[in-house]
Amino acid sequence: MSPQVWLVTGSSRGFGRALVTAALDAGDPVVATARKPEVLQDLVDRHGDRVRTFALDVTDPASAQAAVDAAVASFGRIDVVVNNAGYANIAPIETAPSDDVRRQIETNFWGVYNVSRAALPAMKRQGSGTIVQFSSVGGRVGGTPGLGAYQAAKFAVDGLTRVLAAETAPFGIRYLVVEPGGFDTDWSGPSMQIQDIPAEYDATVGAMARLMNTPAVRIGDPKRAGEILVRVVKRERVPSHLLLGAGAVRSANRYSEEQITEAGIWQEVSASADSDQPYPVALPADEPAS
């Protein structure tokens, strides 16, 4: 397979840095982006003109377009766009500062929207391309105390990507939503702020905040993840979603099983809302909460 031109957001550390390194090691040219591209100079020193660095603020649509244009100008095309830039802070939804919630959603959702939208015209002209959206297993199963803003944005990314896949199917553009579990990155370390947690939320949000930086949560290896993703993207067909980490697989399977069970229990009630179905029907037994 001929080399693929990559553009990776949030390349300075974590998944972004690991993925840039894996793509370069595979012989592919890369546009590595960060808010402060000078932190990427070591990549240029090591790989020369196979890597370009670019200052990118994903929350700025003009900046996103400039990064895509720079990739095409540098290498003649753009084959893989990876929307990796993102972060999370922990706070209860009730007490989280609203400006912090908005900033998280600006980066984690609108940043993905801006970069994906900017890449579409070039990929349509080529008749090919792959857009990789970094989500989280929490973007599938949800329900993590303290991560309301982050997981809301990741659910939105999944919805956006499903619609993009349907709209652009005739243009040869592929989409892969990546759903990692806990990994040894700065996401749950220095990049994460723990906001004030009221005492009444200590058993839920507080407990999660204490868990976040433990070895059990940080078991995933970003280097392996980067290498896996490069191999997956080079396939003729990619999955719509890819879980990363054994814990993510367990969580997703448990969630799917619970959803299927619940839908089965309520299926007669659900169907009775249609005018051609029997109505009314008995509700399932109201068992006490466990």
pLDDT digits (tens, 9 = 90+) for 72-81: 999 999 999 9
Residues of the chain with pLDDT > 90: what percent? 91
pLDDT digits (tens, 9 = 90+) for 128-150: 999 999 999 999 999 999 999 99
Q: How many CB atoms lie within 10 A of CB 266?
A: 12
Evaluate the CA torsion angle 212, 216, 217, 223 in order and state its sign: positive
122 within domain boundaries: yes
277 within domain boundaries: no
Q: In what order do the strands lie in the sheet with 80-83?
A: 51-55, 30-34, 6-8, 80-83, 129-134, 173-180, 241-244
pLDDT of residue 188: 65
Q: Of the given ranges (16-25, 189-198, 199-208), which has the lowest mean pLDDT?
A: 189-198
273 within domain boundaries: no
Confidence of residue 175 (pLDDT cuts 50, 70, 90): very high
CA 51, CA 48: separation in Å to the nearest integer? 6
Cα 232–Cα 246–Cα 218 angle in degrees, nearest 5? 100
pLDDT digits (tens, 9 = 90+) for 96-106: 999 999 999 99
Q: At what angle do helices 14-25 and 222-233 cross, to 10 degrees?
A: 50
pLDDT average, residue stretch 110-134: 98
pLDDT digits (tens, 9 = 90+) for 45-91: 999 999 999 999 999 999 999 999 999 999 999 999 999 999 999 99
pLDDT of residue 270: 98
φ, ψ dihedrals at 246, nearest 5° = -60, -35
244 within domain boundaries: yes
Residues of the chain with pLDDT > 70: what percent? 98
- Which is the catalytic residue, given 11, 113, 116, 154? 154
pLDDT of residue 164: 98
CB contact at 8 A, 131 and 173: yes
CATH number of the domain where residue 203 is located: 3.40.50.720
Q: How many CB atoms lie within 10 A of CB 213?
A: 13
Q: Would residue 150 show up in a list of annotated catalytic residues for this protein? A: yes
Q: Would residue 154 show up in a list of annotated catalytic residues for this protein? A: yes
Amino acid type, 49: D
The number of angstroms, rounded, from the C-alpha of 246 to the middle of its chain's C-alpha atoms is 17
Confidence of residue 42 (pLDDT cuts 50, 70, 90): very high
Is residue 290 scored above 70 in pLDDT? Answer: no
Is residue 26 scored above 70 in pLDDT? Answer: yes
pLDDT digits (tens, 9 = 90+) for 208-256: 999 887 777 778 999 999 999 999 999 999 999 999 999 999 999 999 9
Mean of all residue pLDDT scores within the chain: 95
By the 10 Å C-beta count (0-12 exposed, 13-18 middle, 19+ buried), 106 is classed as middle
Q: Tell me the three state secondary structure of residue 51.
A: strand
- Which is the catalytic residue, given 63, 74, 135, 251? 135
276 within domain boundaries: no
Domain span at residue 254 reads: 6-262
Task: Return the DSSP state at 183.
Answer: B
145 within domain boundaries: yes
pLDDT of residue 288: 80
pLDDT average, residue stretch 115-123: 98
Q: How many CB atoms lie within 10 A of CB 274?
A: 9
256 within domain boundaries: yes
Q: Tell me the three state secondary structure of residue 28.
A: coil
pLDDT of residue 191: 76
pLDDT of residue 186: 75
Q: Would residue 135 show up in a list of annotated catalytic residues for this protein? A: yes
| Total domain count, the chain | 1
274 within domain boundaries: no
pLDDT average, residue stretch 40-46: 94
Long-range residue pairs from 91-94, CB within 8 A, at least 24 positions apart, any chain: 91/146, 91/148, 91/194, 91/195, 91/196, 91/197, 91/205, 92/145, 92/146, 92/148, 92/197, 92/198, 92/201, 92/204, 92/205, 93/148, 93/149, 94/201
